[in-house]
Amino acid sequence: MVETKTNSEYKSENTQEIFADNPLTDPVADRLGYAPFAQHLADSICNMNFAGGFVITLYGNWGFGKSTLLNFLVHYLKEKPEDEQPIIVDFNPWLVTGDEDITKRFVRQLQMSLSQFKAVPKGFRKRIGDFIKAVSEIPVPYAQAGKAVVKLFDNQQKDISELKEELEESLEDKHPRIVVTIDDIDRLNTDDIMQLFRLLKAMPTFDDVVYVLAFNREVVHKIIADNQGIPGDIYLEKIIQAAFELPIPEKTLLRRLLFEKLNTIFSNTPKEIFDFTHWSNIYFSGIDHFINTTRDIVRLINILTVTYPVTNGEVNPADVVAIESLRVFCPVVYEIIRKNPQFFAGYVDNQISSFPTLDELKHFHNSWLAQLKNEDKAPIQKLVLELFPKLESVYGDNYYGAEQENKWHEHLRICSLENFYNYFRLALTTRELPDSEVKAILSLGLDAKAFADKLIEIANERLPDGTTKVRVFLEQLDDYSQAEIPLNNISAIVEALIKLGDHLQSCEDKPYGMFDLGNDVRIKRIISHLLHRLNEQERFEIMQDAN
């Protein structure tokens, strides 16, 4: 009988479990309708009649709840009356350590689990030990061994098929049904996956033994096809007797679950700053597109749990959920927004020179949008339009002015330039230069003098924390040097860095303590990375010219 919990107890438990991204264990916490299926499957496993072993598979993509469904199944099996309750063996292939192969580990765990039950014949428990020793001697992987494999055991000539027959005979007496669950098969490496299925194929057909497997169909089928040269479903049809595909979670149930979690996070938010119409437009324009599994909900809720408390009362609730959704599900767009406030926040005014012109806006936004996956373009474009009305002048004919900017500021909207930076307080790279500025400097890389002059210029510019802009540029250049810099530019850049080395050692850029790097180390790293992209003769010529 399932224990009843109060509503408050249920909410507390459910919140804790889903925040941790752990599979649920108690069907009371089920929100996606998996519990009834698990209960029916448990009833079927306990009541069905079959000869030999029986293999059931639960197919589902990552994050769809396969582990949760397995946990619910085990829960209901354990609730059965004592005379119906099966013996449950939970085999976790991830527990294999060192050189111990999956076959040996599986049979060992089976023996340990069954040895705890007197109802299992002693002869079976003994012969399982024999089987362990036999299979542990089989080479791994043993795909080529086939039926010809014959190994010695205790100085007696016994092949694997004889041991299987003895094991099957030892279970002829009545015994409780045995249910073996195996989860996360798709997360194993290729060799382990193939070894596990060969094991299931080779295992004795014990009466009253049911295997319940859970994995991603596409992943495993591809691995089998690549390894065996035949379609995965053809290979598995002789191993699996019944397969069930987990349905895609219903959107309505996912929304309800997400909204409950958001209510918890935003419970202390002043109601007057929440506009339901704005939230509805924000959610259905783009966020809903990314919420397809419970894992998606967990990822979004966890980031909001960290970022929202430090901005409560200073950001619009709908806008912060939207921008954090982009951080989680489309970080490329999140970074583009964070680094380019002038292209998103505020309003269009061609009379103000510091504002991008309409043509510049159109070019900029069309460029980043074109780089997105086709399936993401429309929802992200709609979401960004809802967040930043300024873009209506790019994709339409609506224009806003200073008066509307004041209203955005009053409602704590991200589209207000004054509010914009409140949404990025926990962005880790607050000192980075915009990509456009880094690329503009790198574009001078064909001319050593022009590049050197620019480095001297930014070496004299100070950031709010007192360091120079050249330090930040060198930090970012260390990441760019592997691929972003054309080969033709390497010579001029290296020459400039070598000649300017001493001029870039500002006292403001001295290392922060013993573990921080100085500009001298950064320059050496950059030069080293760049030179390694060239052949030995080219390196020699560059170093000769630089000196």
Residue among 236, 315, 238 nearest 270 (CA)? 315
Look at residue 137 and tell me whether its pLDDT is greater than 60. no
Q: Crossing angle of helices 160-170/122-136, nearest 10°?
A: 160
Distance CA 406, CA 412 (A): 10
- 209 forms bridges with which residues in the sheet? 178
Q: Which residues contact 444 (CB under 8 A, 6 or more apart)?
A: 450, 451, 454
SS3 497: helix
Alpha carbons 168 and 369: distance in angstroms, whole number: 63
Conformation bin of residue 211: beta by default, left when phi > 0, alpha when psi is -120 to 50: beta
**Per-residue pLDDT averaged across 308-324, rounded?**
93
- Whether 501 and 523 have beta carbons less than 8 Å apart is answered as yes
pLDDT tens for 143-191 read 333 333 333 334 333 455 565 565 555 555 556 788 999 998 988 888 8
Predicted confidence (pLDDT) per residue in 364-392, tens digit: 999 999 999 999 999 999 999 999 999 99
- Assess whether pLDDT exceeds 90 at residue 265: yes
Joined tokens for residue 72: 């619910």
- Range name among 33-42, 161-170, 288-297 with the lowest pLDDT average: 161-170
Of the candidates 375, 293, 303, the residue with the CA atom closest to the CA atom of residue 62: 293
List, for residues 90-127, the tens digit of each pLDDT value: 888 776 555 557 777 777 777 777 776 666 666 665 56
* Residue 6 pLDDT exceeds 50: no
CA-to-CA separations, 442 to 143, 338, 340, in angstroms, rounded: 54, 21, 19
Distance in Å from the first CA to the final CA of the chain: 83
CA angle 257, 258, 264 (to 5 degrees): 95
**Phi, psi of 524, rounded to the nearest 5 degrees:** -60, -40
Question: Which one is predicted more confidently, 423 or 143?
Answer: 423
| Residue 35 pLDDT | 92
Q: 421: buried, middle or exposed (CB in 10 Å: 19+, 13-18, 0-12)?
A: middle
**Is the predicted pLDDT of residue 441 greater than 70, yes or no?**
yes
Mean pLDDT of 44-58: 88
For residue 259, what pLDDT is reported?
A: 96
pTM of the entire predicted model = 0.62
Tally the C-alpha atoms within 13 A of residue 22's C-alpha that lie toward its C-beta.
11
CA angle 500, 503, 509 (to 5 degrees): 120
At 303, the amino acid letter reads I
Point out the least confidently predicted range of 230-234, 335-339, 468-472, 479-483. Answer: 479-483
* 351 Cβ contact list (under 8 Å, min separation 6): none
Q: Are 505 and 518 in contact (CB under 8 A)?
A: yes
Assign residue 316 a region (left: φ > 0; alpha: ψ between -120 and 50; beta: otherwise).
beta
Q: With both helix axes pointing from N to C terminus, report the angle between 519-531 and 469-480 in degrees, rounded to the nearest 10.
A: 30
546 within 8 A of 490, measured Cβ to Cβ = no
Tokens of 379: 């929802």
pLDDT of residue 429: 45
State phi, psi for 468 to the nearest 5 degrees: -90, 160
pLDDT-derived band at 398, boundaries 50, 70, 90: confident
Q: Look up residue 527 and give its two tokens.
A: 């030069």
Is the pLDDT higher at 162 or at 320?
320
Taken in order of first residue, the domains within the chain and their CATH numbers are 32-245 (3.40.50.300), 251-424 (no CATH), 435-546 (no CATH)
Closest CA to 350 of 387, 393, 388: 393
Mean pLDDT over the full length of the chain:
80
For residue 231, whether the previous peptide bond is cis, meaning omega lies within 30 degrees of 0, is: no
C-alpha to C-alpha distance for 497 and 477, rounded to whole angstroms: 12
Q: What is the pLDDT of residue 300?
A: 96
Pairing of β 209-215 and β 242-245: unpaired
Residue found under tokens 């049979």: 107
Instruction: Using the predicted structure, report yes or no on whether residue 491 has a pLDDT greater than 60.
Output: yes
Biggest CA-to-CA distance, the chain: 96
